[in-house]
Homo-oligomer: A and B are copies of this chain.
Amino acid sequence: MTPLLAIGPEALELERLAAALDASAGSNAGADGAVVTFLGLVRNHNVGRRVRYLEYEAYAPLALKAFERIGAEIHERWPDVRLALHHRIGRLDIGEASIAIAARSPHRANAYAACRYAIERVKQIAPIWKREFFDGGDMWIEGATADPDDQRARAEAERIACA
């Protein structure tokens, strides 16, 4: 059975996340009225560079714990939302999905907010790195300093989620 939270080299499929959420709902599934999903795709350009492909690396056990933390934050903020989140690692070509998120809820407002919050938090605290291979070279992309206890970052993610 597909786990709700996962990180690995397999290609991502929304249908698998949706099925995992369905299964996790059990007898309560009929109460849900909304599923919102997000797919992050590898783009062919970035700040003026022509991207050829990406390589994602992760500290996998800590990444899974970060996903669990994000799930717990969502459960605290939006108790009626259930979340599935899969991240891919390894080489990814243009157009392939690096992350797939699905949020299911009785009401669409919470599903939208939680799905958006999840991707913002992944970018803030998941120990995952991408190396960009572009025309003329390659470089590690470095974004946020990961600090799961930074309440300002968490509030910013909530703001972006329009919660």
Q: Is the interface of A mostly helix, strand, loop or mixed?
A: mixed
* A94→B33 CA distance, assembly (Å): 9
Q: How large is the interface on A (under 10, 10 to 19, 20 to 34, 35 or more residues)?
A: 20 to 34
Quickly give the copy total for this chain: 2
0/1 interface trace, chain A 108-124, chain B, CB 8 Å (1 if under): 11011001100100000
Residue of A33, A45, A109, A111 ringed by the most chain B CB atoms within 10 A: A33
Docked-complex contact A45 and B18, CB < 8 angstroms: no
Task: Name the CB-closest residue of B to A109.
Answer: B160
Chain B residues with CB under 8 Å of A84's CB are: none
List 26 A-B residue pairs with CB atoms under 8 Å apart, sorted by A's residue number: A14-B14, A14-B15, A14-B18, A14-B37, A15-B15, A29-B95, A30-B94, A32-B41, A32-B43, A33-B40, A33-B41, A33-B43, A34-B39, A34-B41, A35-B37, A35-B39, A35-B41, A36-B38, A36-B39, A37-B37, A38-B111, A38-B112, A40-B108, A109-B160, A112-B116, A162-B162
